[in-house]
Amino acid sequence: METVTIKDKMFSLSIPAAEIQTAISKLAEKLNHELVGKDPLFLVILNGSFMFAADLFKMLTIPCEVSFVKLSSYRGTSSTEVVKTMIGLSDDIKGRTIVVIEDIVDTGHTLEHLMKMLDEQQPADIKICTLLFKPNAYLKCIRIDYVGIEIPNDFIVGYGLDYDGFGRNLADIYKIV
Ligand code: 5GP
Ligand code: MG
């Protein structure tokens, strides 16, 4: 499909599924190589990251665990500075290597909120892994260790990302027209 309509907005194809999978394979290869012996805990940020996390996790060959937190900052098509914790951290992360799994890093507000929350629990190390990154929207200095694909400042949907709750089921990524 070249275009899709979700509610009142139209979107055009931006990143085809095959390109997404290639980017994920490269991320997995790096993680498998660089986190040997660390037995990391992958912390998936719901909701948007569920599809990325599932595909990435199948490509990991190192011993690792997965857990989930749910944060929310987006309203409609723009990011807000108010990040809410909808489901918090239930694991003991003290002394662990944590790999945060994000669908997309935009302004970085969500990431900052999360880092504060995690730092309090004294993990050994925190790595950030995001499928998508909008460098021109990023306002923070937190280092992002693993980036799948850099994208311009367009609002996108698909592959887990939503517009007002819809569009997460699309296998490709679409941008607003
Ligand atoms: P940030 O706090 O970095 O501004 O935004 C992070 C969160 O906002 C992401 O995890 C994602 O859930 C959501 N987000 C950021 N950019 C987009 C976008 O272009 N489309 C959608 N659907 N969500 C986005
Ligand atoms: Mg997210």
pLDDT in tens, 107-136: 999 999 999 999 999 999 999 999 999 999
Question: From CA 9, how far away is CA 177, in angstroms rounded?
Answer: 8
Ligand 2 centre distance from Cα of residue 161 (Å) = 8
Ligand with an atom nearest the CA of residue 152? 1
Average pLDDT over residues 30-39: 98
Tracing tokens 């517009």 back to the chain, one arrives at: 163
Residues listed for the chain: 177
**What is the pTM for the complete model shown?**
0.96
Kindly report the average pLDDT of the chain as a whole number.
95
To 5 degrees, how large is the angle CA 92–CA 65–CA 71? 65
Name the class of domain 17-151.
alpha beta
Please name every residue paired with 125 in a beta bridge, in sequence order, or none if there are none: 97
Judged on CB neighbours under 10 Å (0-12, 13-18, 19+), 104 is buried
Active-site residue list:
106
pLDDT at 74: 63
Residue closest via CA to ligand 1's atom 11 equals: 104
Q: Which residues line ligand 1 (CB under 6 A)?
A: 45, 48, 73-74, 79, 102-111, 155-157, 161-162
